[in-house]
Every structure is written in structure tokens, then in C-alpha cells.
Amino acid sequence: MEFNSFQKESPFVNKERIIIGKIPCLVYRPKETPGPYPTIINYHGWSSNKEFQHFKATILAVYGYQVMVPDAMHHGERGSLNYTEEGKLEAYLHKVLLKNIEESDQLLDYALNHLEADEKEVSIIGHSMGGFTAAGVFTRHPWLKTMVVINGSCAWQRMLLNVKQKNEIDEALPREIQLLKAMDPEQNLDRFLKRPFLLIHGEEDDTVPMEPQQLFFENAKDYYGKDQKKIRFYKIPEIPHAVSMHMFEQVITWLGKDDLTIDK
């Protein structure tokens, strides 16, 4: 049976398609709620698209958030690839990730100037490749409130070295890897400014292994010191490279914390 994304719309949420520069986006808002809005940019993963984020974005909007969901390069309205073909991930992941991070400037500027986003209440969420992106955007923009990374990685060098060893397809790739290394969140923890973040990972994930993320978290704890209550690594037993309902409950709970710290 062919799998289709869930598209039933909520009577409590407005959904609008917009284009920011060359980036097609879906924007979700709670109905009859005036701005300024606490705003989330939700980044999708490899082989996904903005339409496949509809259910999650709707849930977030029901809880009072404005949610922006962009299509990544080579995804959704911006084209497609044979995502499962051997070598495609290694050849294109770096390009897409870099483009996402560069385009975050446009998205955030548009959110603040055209979508009534509350500058003090802008957060970043992503799953898988979207989680890599969320970490990079959070590092690039030190004014963002928080990030949530689901089955992704903030330890880019640990992950990218493995990809580099597998890939001999694109001659430009080494340069892109060097750019991503310079942006590596783990190597730029000073840009986190001890802002709160949540990491969520399925313990059975064999697509994006959990170990590099665990090592990143240990380094982050050293950096945060007495402020370790601001960060959390939530590991979900028996979950592979997928987003479970329990994971999303943790996202809603985290975003709803008044001070975004962990209860003792």
C-alpha cells in the first residue's frame, strides 16, 4: 500500500503556503490568536518534505506556536533524488545541510519582519538531517531561544569523517566538509551561550548512531557546568530512526517550560 502523508486540517489551526526567496514553506498558526507569536522552524529529514511534517506542525500550532516548515534543497517542491540509491546520501547530504544553514538567515529575517515572530521566543527543531540542521542554525544564531534535535547529531566531525571515508563521488565534497567542520556545534560550544537545548534519540537508531550525540552531550555538560539543568539528553529504548508519539510529548513539554530548565 502506498504511504501518503497525513493532511487532514485542524479547525483550530490556519495553514498557509508561502515562498521566502526561493524557499517554499508552510506556515501554521493557532486560529484567532494575535501576534507576536512564539515561533518554531521545523526542519525535515533526508528524503522527507514539508508536507510530511503537517501532523507535527499542526500539533505544535494547537499548543500556541507559529510553525514554519521549509522544503530543503532537492526535497519537496525543490526537486527530488533517488534517495535510497547508493552514494546519493554521501554525495548530497553536505550540500543540503550547508544550504539549510545558509538559508536560515532568510527564514529568520522573514519571520521577524513579516510573520510577527516574537524575537525572544524563536526555537529550532529538526529530525535526522533536520536535527543536524537545527544544531547548525542554533550555533549560527546565538539569539535563538532553544533547539530540539531528534535522532540527529551535534557532533558533526565525528559523523562527517565516516561519510568522507565512504565518498569519492564529488570533487567539491572535501571543501564542503571543511566548511561544515568549521561550523561543527561541538567545536563551537561557546556560541551556545549556555542556552537550553533538548536532545532526543532512539536507542535502536542504526541510521544516525546515538554514540556521537552522547559524546557531544558529555562535552556540553562540561561547558555548561553549574547550568547543566538547562540541557537534557532523552534516550528512548527500543526506538529506531523514527519519531514516536512519546518523543513528541517530550518536545511539547520542553517547549512549554517557563524557564526551559529541567526539574530536579
CATH number at residue 220: 3.40.50.1820
- Report the Cα–Cα distance between both ends of the chain, in Å, rounded: 46
**Within a domain: 5:** no
Which pLDDT belongs to residue 262?
A: 43
- Give percent of the chain with pLDDT exceeding 90: 80
Residue 247: pLDDT over 70: yes
| Grid cell listed for 167 | 565518498
**Within a domain: 54:** yes
Residue 264: pLDDT over 70: no
Cα distances (Å, whole numbers) of residue 130 to 13, 35, 118, 165, 219:
23, 26, 22, 22, 22
Residue 248: pLDDT over 70: yes
**Within a domain: 134:** yes
CB 215 within 8 A of CB 158: yes
**Within a domain: 152:** yes
CB 128 within 8 A of CB 43: no
Which pLDDT belongs to residue 1?
A: 37
CB 232 within 8 A of CB 214: no
Q: b/e string for 117-153 if b means 16 or more Cβ within 10 A?
A: beeebbbbbbbbbbbbbbbbbbbbeeebbbbbbbbbb
Span 35-69, pLDDT tens digits: 999 999 999 999 999 999 999 999 999 999 999 99
**Within a domain: 235:** yes
Span 103-150, pLDDT tens digits: 999 999 999 999 999 999 999 999 999 999 999 999 999 999 999 999
For the entire predicted model, the pTM comes to 0.92
Which structural domain, as residue segments, surrounds residue 20?
A: 13-255
Please, what is the average pLDDT of the chain? 91
Residue 13: pLDDT over 50: yes
**Within a domain: 264:** no
